[in-house]
Structures are given as structure tokens and as C-alpha cells.
Amino acid sequence: MIDRLKLIVLALILAFLQSFLLEQVDMGFWLRPMPYILLFLSFPLNFNKYIQLVIAFVFGTFIDLLSGSFGTNSASCVFLVYIKQLVDSRFVDFDSIKLQGERYINIRTKGWVFFAYYIFGLTFSHHFVFFALDFFEFSSIFRILITTFVSTLGTISLVLLFKSIFRI
């Protein structure tokens, strides 16, 4: 129960932070960090995968409503949760993580290298879908890739910062 409450509070903080602070501050053309993906990285591994998808959709729509970008955030959140589920089922051994006393992928569970690949891959895929839908042009593919890459680095830095602040 406390875990669920913690997730709801985290979701609200991240949503308002994204819409009222990060969307309002001009950080340059290439940099648009979206640390709210920390919420999806904090989902317990045994959490129902269908509920995860619905939460991703509702949370994405909530951010879309607050920031006036209909559908872009919800589509990329759904995509992120789907990819995360695929990666988790393929590369992660639930039982050994349970034995370690952890509930989700962390730096401690599989080491720095795996965690770096994991967080970079998921963040990049989320941001790529987001910027592809935002730019919506094949001819802008290089701009999409550069913006995705720079924003991914920004997002990962903020996610690691929040992880250390909230001790997630």
C-alpha cells in the first residue's frame, strides 16, 4: 500500500515538474529533458503488465493535458512501457532479483554497465518516438536523432539526480 502511495506521489510530482517547470524553461533547441520516465523505471517487476500500459497511457495523457501536446506524451509513454516489458522479460531474471531483495532494475541489481545500457536504451526509444511524432517529417530525421540524443543525456542526468534525492 505504501509503495503504491509512493508511486502516486512520485507521479504527481514528476507530472507537475514536467509541465510547470521543465516545459516552461527554455534550455535550447536540442535539449528537452523528460525525467518523468523515472516513474516507469520505478514500477515493480511483478507489477501487472496491462495495468502498467494503462497507467502509462493515463499518465501521458495527463501530461499532454497540462502541457497542451495532445497525444505525443501518451504515445511515447505507452511505447516505453511496451519496450521495457520486452527488455525485462528477455534480459532480467526476476527470481534472482527477488533474492537480492530488490523490486526493480537498479544499479545494484545487475551492475553499472547493464544499468547504463538499460536506462539509455529505454530513454532513447521513448524520446525518439516523442520527437518523431513532434517533428512529424521524414526530412527532419537528423534533427530528430540529434534532439533525441541530447535530450536523452539530459533526461538521464535528471533521472539519476532524482533517484539520489528520492532514494528510489
Partner 1 sequence: MFVLIKWLRKYSYPLVAFLLFGFSVNQILRYQIYQHSVYFQSSITFFRTIDVWKSNFVTYFQLRHDNEILANENIRLRNQLKIGLVKNEPFRDTSYFDSVSKELSNYRVMYSYIKAKVIRNTTNSSNNFFTIDQGKNQGIYPGMAVINPEGIVGVIVGCSQNFSRGMSVLNSKFGLTPLIPEMNLRQGVINWKGANARIVDLDEINRTEKIKQGMIVVTSNFSSIFPANIPIGKIEKVESPLNSQYHKISLKLATNFNKLNTVYCIKNNFNNEIDSLNSGTLNLSND
Near partner 1 in 63-92, by CB under 8 A? 64, 69-72, 74-75, 78-79, 81-82, 85
- Rounded distance, CA 76 to CA 82, Å? 10
The interface mask with partner 1, positions 23-62, x = CB under 8 A, is --------------------------xx--xx-xx--xx-
Sign of the four-CA dihedral 101, 107, 113, 114: positive
Which of 33, 56, 30 is closest to 156 using CA atoms? Answer: 33
Q: How far is the CB of 98 from partner 1 (least distance, A)?
A: 22
The set of cell numbers assigned to 24 is 516552461
Which residues 6+ apart lie within 8 Å of 122 measured at CB? 37, 40, 41, 80, 83, 84, 87
Which of 63, 60, 55, 56 is closest to 17 using CA atoms? Answer: 63
Near partner 1 in 133-152, by CB under 8 A? 133, 136-137
Q: How far is the CB of 76 from partner 1 (least distance, A)?
A: 8
Size of the site for partner 1 (CB under 8 A): 23
Interface residues with partner 1 (CB under 8 A) are 49-50, 53-54, 56-57, 60-61, 64, 69-72, 74-75, 78-79, 81-82, 85, 133, 136-137
